[in-house]
Amino acid sequence: METPLQTAQRLLAALEDLVARESVLLRSTNYLEAVTIQERAGPLVQELARLADQPGVDALKERVAALMEIRMESWHYIDANLDRMQQELARINEARVRLGRIAPVYGARGVRRSRLNAAA
């Protein structure tokens, strides 16, 4: 039978692997898979938190701190991308509004849309 420290080491190793995968997925903009990884990591984090007060488990504090640093970097990356995407969306919406204002001037109401523009 595993000691609490052995269990925590095993769980932490699995969590380190998941966090590394998540980091790669985020940087490749595969957000859906990153969320799946986060969901898989949840139970590991809960169990590690439960084991935190067991004898000897505090020896893993440095590894946990390093893991938390990686997670913080991922959150900063997500925040930066979210800000960038929101700015781009605002720019696109502004362009649509401008187009909506000038389109009637050029008689765009009667223009047939091509199949390429039908989805827009």
What would the pLDDT profile of 29-47 be if each residue is shown by its tens digit?
998 999 999 999 999 999 9
pLDDT digits (tens, 9 = 90+) for 75-89: 899 899 999 999 999
Which whole number is the average pLDDT over 24-29?
92
Cβ-Cβ contacts under 8 Å for 21 (sequence gap 6 or more): 37
Q: Mean of the per-residue pLDDT values for the chain?
A: 88
Q: Cα(22)–Cα(45) distance, rounded to whole angstroms?
A: 15
Distances in Å between the Cα of 96 and the Cα atoms of 24, 33, 65, 90, 114 are: 34, 32, 46, 10, 18
Give the pLDDT score at 86. 95
Quote the pTM value.
Answer: 0.70
CA 38 to chain centre: 8
Give the pLDDT band (50/70/90) at residue 105: confident
Which whole number is the average pLDDT over 22-28?
93
Phi, psi of 117 (to 5 degrees): -95, -5
Question: What 3 state SS string does 18-53 have?
Answer: HHHHHHHHHHCCCHHHHHHHHHHHHHHHHHHHHHCC
Give the pLDDT score at 103. 78
96, pLDDT greater than 80? yes
Answer for the pair 48, 8: CB distance below 8 angstroms, yes or no.
yes
Give the pLDDT band (50/70/90) at residue 100: confident
